Chain A
Amino acid sequence: RKEVEQDPGPFNVPEGATVAFNCTYSNSASQSFFWYRQDCRKEPKLLMSVYSSGNEDGRFTAQLNRASQYISLLIRDSKLSDSATYLCVVRAGTASKLTFGTGTRLQVTL
């Protein structure tokens, strides 16, 4: 079983739609969680951290469910510019190592 699993998509949604991605992780000792965004042929960039109580940043909401070992990302009012691959990232064990999921591709259309 992979340490971090994501549905690869693609998720094709119209502008203005709400879309949600889930990510599951296998290591119950995982301590920190993040969502990164990667545009086509670009490097990944941190989108947001995921806190235990859930957190929001504008149109983006991230949630953590430790009992079921998954994190989620909700995007409201999707924009064309949201089209990208969203990477789930988990930190477990040593402070330095981050484990990346394979990413979920989102395509927002007119």
Chain B
Amino acid sequence: DVKVTQSSRYLVKRTGEKVFLECVQDMDHENMFWYRQDPGLGLRLIYFSYDVKMKEKGDIPEGYSVSREKKERFSLILESASTNQTSMYLCASRENSGRIGELFFGEGSRLTVL
């Protein structure tokens, strides 16, 4: 089974802090994604990566950056956390071929910014 692991299930940070959210997948997938999920807004794509050291902006990249130094790891960085970044963050991976719609998600990281 594909396993996508997010390092922290729950985090509480203060405004202005730097936040790292880590995601690791064990199926050698080329594509990795970061979404945030908010009530009434659904899942919105922040950034994605289709290869090591490659990244593409999603729909809401402002206030975020990402890092993909190794194929299995995709990190989301909040340089200076703000209260409007309080959300559920979901990492996902997908292989390049096969069922192109099948994203495998991690369990999510619920971030609260005070």
Contact = CB atoms under 8 A, between A and B. Distances in A.
Nearest to B30: A96
A43 B101 contact: no
Contacts of B102: 46
A96 B40 contact: no
A8 B39 CA distance: 10
A89 B45 CA distance: 12
A26 B87 CA distance: 26
Given A44-B105, A102-B41, A91 B100 contact: yes
Nearest to B4: A43
Interface string A23-50: 0000000001110000000111110010
B26 interface: no
B34 interface: no
A32 B42 CA distance: 19
Interface in A57-110: 87, 89, 91, 95-103
B20 to A, nearest CB: 20
A46 B90 contact: no
A103 B103 CA distance: 16
A8 B41 CA distance: 11
Contacts of B33: 96
A97 B41 CA distance: 17
B103 to A, nearest CB: 7
A49 B98 CA distance: 12
A44 to B, nearest CB: 6
Interface in B19-47: 31, 33, 35, 40-45
Given A49-B99, A87-B42, A98-B101, A43 B56 contact: no
Contact of B42 (A33, A91, A103): A103
B105 to A, nearest CB: 4
A46 B103 contact: yes
Given A43-B90, A44-B43, A91 B105 contact: no
A3 to B, nearest CB: 9
